[in-house]
Every structure is written in structure tokens, then in C-alpha cells.
């Protein structure tokens, strides 16, 4: 069949052409001059294309036109712009096309608290939280010009996507109705899709039974929908205030929050407790005793760290000192973190900042008895290793020099290998000579500390590190960290760490 077809094709071709006889005696014309057809000579960057043939003098000859669309030679490497041109990633040529071979890393600091068109915020912004790859940052702001129609005169929670440059308001209904009260303290899922936040607006629900008491919501960026998180396992709204920053797991399923309600579940004392909401199963569990506040959740959702506030509480026998605990959802056990080597309570208050997937807790504390020779008289940053049950001090210089001023606010990667923290003083890095607050990057395993904001910058605070350790979001009081920052108020800056 194949031979017959080939012969038939030859016959047809021979009968084609312009039909004239070649007087010179050379080959008879087989095609009309100027016609083109697909050829068979390999061409292109990866020899995957074929040269077109053009009819000239009645004969088919290869043209210069290759039908190959490959943009690069296979296995070649290069770098390319990403995230709307604000970042760079490695690319490798795969089947003739450039394919990213690394995550996108910002080329430099970006002013994230801006409108989609780049307009700077007209009022202060704070409390950033960063997605796993650093591409989505959420924050709250009093600015009225980050989105159209912000006329509520209240803080709102916003979501800025570095991949597209888009800024959206999270604390509003999909219909466009804006909240009639403050919304604050956004936390974002690893993929940037979900945002948990608190709001005292009364019009984000059909019926807000606790009126202007704070509630916790979860926003879905895929649908624009809001879901009430501060509810009990029957779906009833909390009857008291849930007014602490909520903490959400990486997948957006678990949200830990503080509430003074008496129906989450039934609770006789109108005091604060920490609750864990499982949005998928629709259950809410109380995980702290009285006066539990300030929850921090591990990225995998297994562990929640919280503080027992100083007001009272069975777990804080030394009144006036807030102790720190970690709750394990796997066996419902609670362990006190803030203890000295003999198991005695910390002699100063402790504040949980971040908790790893293994349940290790990064916290700062006023205590002097958590490690030996803590004589600096300042807050320090500590790392509680759950499996080893040891506490180390991490707010030290690479050579071990102690902090000579206060330390607070920290965030860690999910494996605890990197810790970002805020500290005043001048003793933690050689290039810091000004006393105002700088941010430092501590490599816990290597024992190294470097300043990531310089003396040329104004104070920086509230670090949020991406899970991949490549970016940090921070609140910048000054204007030097990001270019084009001329608004004179605090902004959110996202910057590369390497």
C-alpha cells in the first residue's frame, strides 16, 4: 500500500508543474514557480523543525523558512523576569521552551501597601503576613485609597499579590459592601488563597448576635466569599468578643483564635480562652484553660502555642507572669514551654511568636532563668526544641555576644531553621551602630546572625518570613527600604533575603 501510494504521488507530481517542456533538456518542471510546501530537511534550535520548500525553476528547493517554533536549545539555562517583572527566576530549556527551574525571587524591596496602579497608601499600614513563596502578602491599613470605594474610615485587611500587582480588600462582602467597623490582623494560607482576620463590623453577617464585639472571618480569594470562623460546632456565632489576632494553618483549614464567649462550647466564666476551629469538619474545640490568649499555630495545624495572660489563671501561679504553653492536637496534651532547666516557671512573661511543624516554639521572654547566664536585663529570643526539651537563646550575635537592648517580634520558617526577629541595640551585628530597632536573620543550625535592615533605614518591625526562607515582609516606619516611598507613614515592604 505504501509503495503504491508513493508511485501514485510521483505520477501526480510529474503531471503537475506548469506543463511546459524544458528546452534545455534538464529535468521537467514538477511545480509552479513561487509555490511552497512543507519540506523534510531538519532545522531549528533542536532540529525538530523542517525547512519549507519553494518552487524555483520548476523544481522544489529548500527555503530559509523553518517551521520550528522552539525558542531555545534544549538543556540551555538562563534567568528570566517573573512576577510582573519585579523578580527573577532560573529557567531551563525544556522541549524548546523556557521553563522555570527555581522559585521567583524579588530583585529588591517592593512597596506592597500600594494600590493596584501603584498609588501609595494615604495612611499607615501594619501587621504583614506572607504566603509560602512570598508572592502574596496581607496586612491591615487605615488607607482610603488602596481600593476604590473605601469610605468606612476604618482599618481594613488587604491582600496584595506580587505575581499580578493587584491589591484587593479582604474585609468586605463579595457584593461590594464594605465593613462598618475595623478589620485587622490578617493571616494568610501557604498558597495565598485564604485570609483569616478579625473584624468588629456588624454588617458582614446577616445577623451579628454579638454586635460590635470582634469576630473572626476567613476570606477565599478564589471566590471572594467570607466565612464566619468564630462559631461553635453547631454553627452558632460566638456570643462574646474574639478580639485577638487569629492564626491559620498553611492549608487554611484550622484557625486558632481567642474569644471571651460562653458558647464555644458552653462555658460559665466569661473569660478568654483559645479555641481551634476546624473549618472542614465544622468543629470548634477549646484548647486552653482560663485566660488563654495570643495563639500561634504550626503550619501543619498540629500544634498551637498560647499564653496564659497575667490577669489570673490556674496555670500562672506567679501572678503577674504570663507563661507559655503548647497544645498538641494529636493527643490533646498541653506542655508548658516557659520553664527553667529544673521545670520551674519562667520568672518573667513569655510571648509565643512562631511554632514549627515539629512543635518547637520561638518566643521572646522577660525571664532570666530560661538559660544560664542571662544577665543582659533585656527581653531575649528563645527557641524551645520540643523533642529535646531544651531552650536555647537565639538573640545573640554570631560570636555569641548577648543583645544589649530589648528583643521582640519574631517569625520562623516551618522547619525552624531560620528565625527573623526585631531587636534594638547595637551588639548583634558589626554593621549596626544605631540603637533603633533593626531586623535580624538568625540561622539556628549554623548559629549565625546578620542584620537585614541597615543603619541607613529607619526602624523596621513585625517580620513575616516566607516558608522557603527567601523573602520577608515587614513594617517599615521610614522611607528608605523601598524606592518610591514618599508617603511619610508606615508601609509594608516585601524584600528578598538572599
CB atoms within 10 A of CB 148: 10
Q: With contacts defined by CB under 5 A, name the span among 202-210, 221-229, 333-341, 439-447 that binds Ca ion.
A: 202-210
Residue 490 near residue 126, CB atoms below 8 Å: yes
Least separation, in Å, of the C-beta of 192 and Ca ion? 22
Least separation, in Å, of the C-beta of 91 and Ca ion? 34
Cβ nearer to Ca ion, comparing 52 with 462: 462
Cβ nearer to Ca ion, comparing 156 with 187: 156
Question: What's 389-409 look like in SS3?
Answer: CEEEECCECCCCCECCCCEEE
State whether residue 484 is helix, strand or coil.
coil
Q: Does 475 bind Ca ion (CB under 5 A)?
A: no
In angstroms, the CA 20 to CA 14 distance is: 12
Single residue of 133, 156, 250, 437 touching Ca ion by CB under 5 A? 156
- Which grid cell sits at 5? 501510494
Closest-CA residue to 375 (of 403, 399, 416): 403
In angstroms, the CA 470 to CA 285 distance is: 35
Least separation, in Å, of the C-beta of 261 and Ca ion? 11
Q: CB pairs under 8 A, 24+ apart, for 63-70? A: 63/36, 63/39, 65/36, 67/38, 68/43, 68/44, 68/96, 69/96, 70/44, 70/45, 70/46, 70/95, 70/96, 70/97
Rg of the chain over Cα atoms, rounded to whole angstroms, equals 31
In angstroms, the CA 79 to CA 63 distance is: 33
Q: Is the dihedral of CA 61, 63, 69, 70 positive or negative?
A: positive
Q: Does 52 bind Ca ion (CB under 5 A)?
A: no
Least separation, in Å, of the C-beta of 72 and Ca ion? 41
Single residue of 204, 491, 492, 494 touching Ca ion by CB under 5 A? 491
Least separation, in Å, of the C-beta of 121 and Ca ion? 8
Cβ nearer to Ca ion, comparing 44 with 478: 478
Helices (H), 85-178: none
Least separation, in Å, of the C-beta of 127 and Ca ion? 14
Q: Is the bond leading into 265 cis (omega within 30 degrees of zero)?
A: yes
Residue 206 near residue 198, CB atoms below 8 Å: no
Q: Per-residue x/- mask for Ca ion, residues 211 to 230, rule CB under 5 A?
A: --x-x---------------
Least separation, in Å, of the C-beta of 473 and Ca ion? 14
Cβ nearer to Ca ion, comparing 21 with 373: 373
Residue 10 backbone dihedrals phi, psi, to 5 degrees: -60, -45
Query: What is the helix, strand, coil percentage profile of the chain, to 5?
Result: 5, 40, 55
Q: Does 338 bind Ca ion (CB under 5 A)?
A: no
In angstroms, the CA 113 to CA 128 distance is: 10
Least separation, in Å, of the C-beta of 202 and Ca ion? 6
Least separation, in Å, of the C-beta of 165 and Ca ion? 18
Q: How many residues bind Ca ion (CB under 5 A)?
A: 15
Q: With contacts defined by CB under 5 A, name the span among 95-103, 288-296, 371-379, 450-458 that binds Ca ion.
A: 371-379
Residue 103 near residue 184, CB atoms below 8 Å: no
Single residue of 161, 345, 380, 394 touching Ca ion by CB under 5 A? 380
Which residues, 6+ apart, have CB-to-CB distance to 397 below 8 Å?
427, 428, 429, 449
Least separation, in Å, of the C-beta of 362 and Ca ion? 15
Q: With contacts defined by CB under 5 A, name the span among 11-19, 317-325, 444-452, 478-486 that binds Ca ion.
A: 478-486
CB atoms within 10 A of CB 474: 28
Least separation, in Å, of the C-beta of 189 and Ca ion? 23
Which residues, 6+ apart, have CB-to-CB distance to 154 below 8 Å?
142, 179, 180, 181, 182, 183, 201
Least separation, in Å, of the C-beta of 375 and Ca ion? 8
Cβ nearer to Ca ion, comparing 82 with 170: 170
Q: Per-residue x/- mask for Ca ion, residues 136 to 155, rule CB under 5 A?
A: --------------x-x-x-
Please report which helix (H) or strand (E) contains residue 7, including its range: helix 2-14
Cβ nearer to Ca ion, comparing 215 with 409: 215
Please report which helix (H) or strand (E) contains residue 8, including its range: helix 2-14
Q: Does 477 bind Ca ion (CB under 5 A)?
A: no
Cβ nearer to Ca ion, comparing 53 with 491: 491
CB atoms within 10 A of CB 76: 12
Single residue of 208, 345, 409, 411 touching Ca ion by CB under 5 A? 208
Q: Per-residue x/- mask for Ca ion, residues 94 to 133, rule CB under 5 A?
A: ----------------------------------------
Cβ nearer to Ca ion, comparing 150 with 161: 150
Q: Which residues bind Ca ion (CB under 5 A)?
A: 150, 152, 154, 156, 208, 210, 213, 215, 374, 376, 378, 380, 485, 487, 491
Amino acid at each position: 500500500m505504501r509503495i503504491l501510494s508513493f508511485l501514485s504521488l510521483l505520477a501526480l507530481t510529474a503531471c503537475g508543474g506548469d506543463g511546459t517542456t524544458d528546452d534545455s533538456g534538464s529535468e521537467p518542471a514538477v511545480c509552479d514557480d513561487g509555490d511552497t510546501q512543507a519540506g523534510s530537511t531538519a532545522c531549528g534550535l533542536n532540529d525538530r523543525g523542517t525547512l519549507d520548500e519553494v518552487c524555483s525553476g520548476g523544481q522544489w528547493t529548500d527555503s530559509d523558512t523553518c517551521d520550528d517554533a522552539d525558542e531555545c536549545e534544549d538543556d540551555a539555562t538562563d534567568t528570566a523576569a517573573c512576577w510582573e517583572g519585579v523578580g527573577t527566576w532560573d529557567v531551563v530549556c525544556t522541549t524548546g521552551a523556557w521553563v522555570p527551574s527555581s522559585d521567583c525571587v524579588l530583585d529588591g524591596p517592593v512597596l506592597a501597601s500600594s494600590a493596584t496602579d501603584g498609588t501609595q497608601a494615604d495612611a499607615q499600614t501594619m501587621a504583614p503576613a506572607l504566603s509560602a513563596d512570598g508572592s502574596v502578602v496581607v496586612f491591615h491599613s487605615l488607607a482610603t485609597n488602596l481600593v476604590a470605594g473605601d469610605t468606612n474610615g476604618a482599618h481594613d485587611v488587604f491582600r496584595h499579590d506580587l505575581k499580578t500587582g493587584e491589591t484587593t480588600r479582604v474585609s468586605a462582602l463579595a457584593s461590594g459592601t464594605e465593613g462598618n467597623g475595623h478589620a485587622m490582623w490578617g493571616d494568610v494560607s501557604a498558597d495565598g488563597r485564604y485570609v483569616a482576620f478579625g473584624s468588629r463590623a456588624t454588617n458582614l453577617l446577616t445577623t451579628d448576635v454579638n454586635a460590635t464585639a470582634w469576630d473572626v472571618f476567613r476570606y477565599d480569594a478564589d471566590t471572594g466569599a467570607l466565612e464566619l470562623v468564630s462559631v461553635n460546632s453547631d454553627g452558632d456565632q460566638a456570643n462574646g468578643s474574639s478580639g485577638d489576632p487569629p492564626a491559620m494553618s498553611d492549608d487554611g483549614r484550622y484557625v486558632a483564635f481567642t474569644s471571651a464567649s460562653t458558647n464555644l462550647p458552653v462555658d460559665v466564666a466569661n473569660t478568654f480562652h483559645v479555641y481551634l476551629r476546624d473549618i472542614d469538619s465544622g468543629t470548634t474545640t477549646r484548647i486552653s484553660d482560663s485566660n488563654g490568649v495570643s495563639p500561634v499555630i504550626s503550619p501543619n495545624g498540629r500544634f498551637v502555642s498560647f499564653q496564659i495572660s497575667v490577669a489570673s489563671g490556674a496555670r500562672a501561679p506567679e501572678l503577674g507572669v504570663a507563661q507559655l504553653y503548647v497544645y498538641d492536637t494529636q493527643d490533646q496534651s498541653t506542655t508548658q514551654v516557659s520553664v527553667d532547666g529544673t521545670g520551674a516557671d519562667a520568672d518573667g512573661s513569655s510571648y509565643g511568636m512562631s511554632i514549627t511543624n515539629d512543635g518547637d516554639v520561638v518566643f521572646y521572654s522577660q525571664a532570666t532563668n530560661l538559660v544560664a547566664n542571662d544577665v543582659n536585663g533585656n527581653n531575649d529570643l528563645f527557641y524551645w526544641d520540643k523533642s529535646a526539651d531544651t531552650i536555647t537563646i537565639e538573640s545573640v550575635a554570631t560570636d555569641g555576644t548577648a543583645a544589649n537592648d530589648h528583643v521582640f517580634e519574631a517569625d520562623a520558617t516551618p522547619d525552624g531553621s531560620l528565625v527573623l526577629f526585631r531587636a534594638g541595640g547595637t551588639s548583634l551585628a558589626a554593621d549596626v551602630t544605631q540603637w533603633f530597632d533593626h531586623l535580624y536573620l538568625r540561622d539556628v543550625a549554623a548559629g549565625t546572625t546578620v542584620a537585614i535592615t541597615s543603619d541607613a533605614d529607619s526602624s523596621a518591625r513585625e517580620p513575616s518570613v516566607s516558608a522557603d526562607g527567601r523573602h520577608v515582609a515587614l513594617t517599615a516606619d521610614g522611607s528608605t527600604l523601598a524606592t518610591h516611598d514618599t508617603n511619610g507613614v508606615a508601609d509594608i515592604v516585601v524584600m528578598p533575603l538572599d
